[in-house]
Amino acid sequence: MFCQRCGTELRETDLDSRPRLKCPACGYVQYQNPVPGVGVLIEHEGRLVLIRRGHPPHQGQWTLPSGFIEADESVEHAAVREAREETGLNIALDELFGVYSFPEGPPRSGLIIFYRAHPTNPADLRAGDDASEAAFFSATELPVIAFRTHREVLARWLLERQEPGAAAAGAQHQPDVTVRPAEPRDHYRIVELMSHMPAQTRMSDIARARATARLRDSSALEVFVAESAEYQAASQWTAIIGFVAVSLLEGLNETRAWLDAMVVEPEYRRRGVGGALFDIGTRRARERGASQLLLDFTRASPSAQEFYRSIGFDGSEVSRIRLR
Ligand SMILES: [Zn+2]
What is the distance in A from the centroid of ligand 1 to the CA of 2? 8
CA–CA separation, 187 and 193 (whole Å): 10
- Name the domain boundary from 167, 198, 220: 167
CA–CA separation, 287 and 272 (whole Å): 23
Would the pTM count as exceeding 0.75?
no
Cβ atoms within 10 Å, residue 314: 10
Contact present, 285 and 257 (Cβ < 8 Å)? yes
| Of the ranges 66-75, 169-178, 226-235, the best mean pLDDT one | 66-75
pLDDT at 167: 45
Point out the least confidently predicted range of 3-12, 165-174, 183-192. Answer: 165-174
Does pLDDT of 166 surpass 70? no
Does pLDDT of 174 surpass 70? no
For 119-145, what is the mean pLDDT? Answer: 89
- Name the domain boundary from 167, 195, 220: 167
Number of domains in the chain: 3
Identify the CA nearest to 233 among candidates 175, 276, 187, 180.
Answer: 175
CA–CA separation, 86 and 75 (whole Å): 16
What is the distance in A from the centroid of ligand 1 to the CA of 111? 28
Half-sphere exposure of 180 (CA within 13 A, CB side): 10
Confidence band of 91 (pLDDT split at 50, 70, 90): very high
Does pLDDT of 259 surpass 90? yes
pLDDT at 309: 82
Point out the least confidently predicted range of 11-15, 57-61, 198-202. Answer: 198-202
Same-domain pairing of 250 and 298: yes
Point out the least confidently predicted range of 81-95, 149-163, 209-223. Answer: 149-163
Same-domain pairing of 62 and 148: yes
| Of the ranges 107-121, 128-142, 294-308, the best mean pLDDT one | 107-121
For residue 296, give the CATH number of its domain.
3.40.630.30
For 169-185, what is the mean pLDDT? Answer: 70
Determine the residue type at 205.
Answer: D
What is the distance in A from the centroid of ligand 1 to the CA of 18? 19
pLDDT at 122: 94
Q: Which one has a higher pLDDT value, 154 or 174?
A: 154
Point out the least confidently predicted range of 29-33, 65-69, 203-207. Answer: 203-207
Contact present, 261 and 274 (Cβ < 8 Å)? no
Would residue 133 show up in a list of annotated catalytic residues for this protein?
A: yes
Same-domain pairing of 81 and 127: yes
Same-domain pairing of 250 and 218: yes
Same-domain pairing of 291 and 158: no
Residue 1, in any domain of the structure? yes
- Name the domain boundary from 137, 167, 197: 167
Q: Residue 306 — φ and ψ, nearest 5°?
A: -60, -45
**Whole-number mean pLDDT of the chain?**
87
Confidence band of 162 (pLDDT split at 50, 70, 90): low
Residue 172, in any domain of the structure? no
Point out the least confidently predicted range of 70-84, 99-113, 209-223. Answer: 99-113
What is the distance in A from the centroid of ligand 1 to the CA of 68? 28
Residue 80, in any domain of the structure? yes
pLDDT at 41: 97
Contact present, 257 and 251 (Cβ < 8 Å)? no
Residue 77, in any domain of the structure? yes
28 lies in which domain range? Answer: 1-32
Same-domain pairing of 159 and 68: yes
Q: Residue 111 — φ and ψ, nearest 5°?
A: -140, 150
What is the distance in A from the centroid of ligand 1 to the CA of 103? 28
What is the distance in A from the centroid of ligand 1 to the CA of 7? 6
Same-domain pairing of 69 and 100: yes
Confidence band of 73 (pLDDT split at 50, 70, 90): very high
Q: Which one has a higher pLDDT value, 164 or 43?
A: 43
Q: What DSSP string runs through 30-63?
A: E---PEEEEEEEEEETTEEEEEEESSSSSTT-EE
pLDDT at 276: 82
What is the distance in A from the centroid of ligand 1 to the CA of 4? 7
What is the distance in A from the centroid of ligand 1 to the CA of 17? 21
Does pLDDT of 133 surpass 50? yes
CA separation, residue 16 to residues 20, 24, 31, 303 (Å): 9, 17, 11, 42
What is the distance in A from the centroid of ligand 1 to the CA of 110? 26
Q: What DSSP string runs through 140-160?
A: GG---B-SHHHHHHHHHHHHH
Identify the CA nearest to 174 among candidates 226, 240, 100.
Answer: 100
Catalytic residue, candidates 12, 70, 73, 133: 133
CA 291-295-297 angle, 5° bins: 150
pLDDT at 149: 87
